[in-house]
Structures are given as C-alpha cells and as structure tokens.
Chain A
Amino acid sequence: EPEVTQTPSHQVTQMGQEVILRCVPISNHLYFYWYRQILGQKVEFLVSFYNNEISEKSEIFDDQFSVERPDGSNFTLKIRSTKLEDSAMYFCASSKASADTQYFGPGTRLTVL
C-alpha cells in the first residue's frame, strides 16, 4: 500500500539555524500539506500546496517558513531561522484532490536547542 514517507525521523538543530524537512507524498496525489504537533497538543495545519503554489496557509506559517516541490517526488518544508518554539513533530500529508482523504507520513521530530 503506498504511503507518505518523511526524512529525517529526528532532527536536532541549534536556534537560528536553517532546517529542511523532506517528504515524499503518495505518487498519484496532487495536494500536499504540512502540519505540526507540539508535544501533548493537537495537530495544527501549517500549509497546503497544489500546482506548485501555496493554496492555503495558517498564521503559524510566517516568513520563516517556506515550501517547495523541487522535483516530481519530493516536497520540502524549510524553516530559515529556527526558534525554540519550533520544536515539534512535523507531519507531511497528501491527497488526490482537495476534498479527498489526507494521508499522513510518520513525521519528523524537530528539536531546537
């Protein structure tokens, strides 16, 4: 069964450093998403991406965040200058269409020191 994959599983970085989280969505899906989950809290929407552009973003997704689909398979989330409060699990998801089921990857645990 096809699934969303994410790398790395755990990323540790120093405050102020840039990080790139990588995702490979399900191959025939057209919509891609990033969510985050701070420890013990609920999953929060960050951004959705379709047709090589952002279709929706939340207030969390400020100028420090960016997304890119550099090739036909990868989808990345970049945080330019990490802050302590960026520490969280980051989940990538994908769906065939906007109103279709979103399937989530296993997540990347980001720890900012």
Chain B
Amino acid sequence: GESVGLHLPTLSVQEGDNSIINCAYSNSASDYFIWYKQESGKGPQFIIDIRSNMDKRQGQRVTVLLNKTVKHLSLQIAATQPGDSAVYFCAEHMEYGNKLVFGAGTILRVKS
C-alpha cells in the first residue's frame, strides 16, 4: 500500500545549528513532495515543495533534497531559530488524483 513515513519522531537542536529532518516514502506514483510545518493548534503551513523530476530545491533558509533511488526526502533548515520549533510533515502528492499522503511527523525542538 501507499505510505509516507519518518525516521525520527523528535529532533532537538541548539539555536543557530542546522537541522535535518528526514522522510521515507514507499509510493512511486507521485508528482511532487511537500514539507509542511504545523505549530500547536494551527493548520499545516506550506514550507517548500519539490517536483519529482528534481533532486534539490532551495528556499529561504530551507533546502529540500529528493533521492528517488532510495525514496528519501529531507528538509534542511539553516541557522535554526526558536520560531522553527514545530511538527514537520512531509507529504506526497499522488500523480493520479488530488490527495496528499502525509507522513507521521517529526517534532523539532530548538533549544536556546
């Protein structure tokens, strides 16, 4: 069946350090992948996405890497700040259809 999962449920980093959040997916029938940030009591907030024909995409302080060979996705956050503390979800957009398949989430805790 289809699934998107995460390796680490919780990641603690020191303020100013770089963070790397990982995600493994099992379904190959996707056209793009998305990272969402969810703060307590709020809805998922779009961070960055990457099309399946790319292997890297950079945004402001964030970089997403896609390795289709091993079905692995990562989110790198540079100079992590306290405001980055949240749950991060990877999601897979299915090529045929509209739905997103979400991973289980990783909690990022930034220590000051």
Q: State the A residues within 8 Å of B (CB).
A: 4, 31, 33, 35, 41-45, 48, 50, 55-56, 58, 91, 98-99, 101-107
Question: What is the interface of chain B mostly: helix, strand, loop, or mixed?
Answer: strand
Q: Among A42, A55, A104, which residue has the most Cβ atoms of chain B within 10 A?
A: A42
Asked if A105 and B105 sit within 8 Å, CB to CB, the answer is no
B97 within 8 A of A: yes
Total interface residues on B, using CB and 8 Å? 23
**Separation of A98 and B100 alpha carbons in the complex (Å):** 11
Asked if B100 and A102 sit within 8 Å, CB to CB, the answer is yes
Given the contacts A91-B43, A99-B32, A106-B42, A42 and B49 also touching, CB distance less than 8 Å: no
Interfacial residues of chain B within 22-74, with CB under 8 A of chain A in the complex:
31-32, 34, 36, 41-46, 49
Asked if B44 and A104 sit within 8 Å, CB to CB, the answer is yes
Can you list 27 pairs linking A and B with CB atoms under 8 Å apart?
Answer: A4-B43, A31-B98, A42-B102, A42-B103, A42-B104, A43-B100, A43-B102, A44-B102, A45-B99, A45-B100, A48-B97, A55-B97, A58-B99, A99-B31, A99-B93, A101-B46, A101-B49, A102-B46, A104-B43, A104-B44, A104-B45, A104-B46, A105-B43, A106-B41, A106-B42, A106-B43, A107-B43
Kindly provide the distance from the CB of A47 to the nearest chain B CB, expressed in whole angstroms: 9
Q: Which residue of B lies closest to A41 (CB)?
A: B104
Task: List 5 other contacts, CB 8 Å, given A43-B102, A44-B102, A56-B97.
Answer: A4-B43, A42-B89, A50-B98, A98-B98, A106-B43
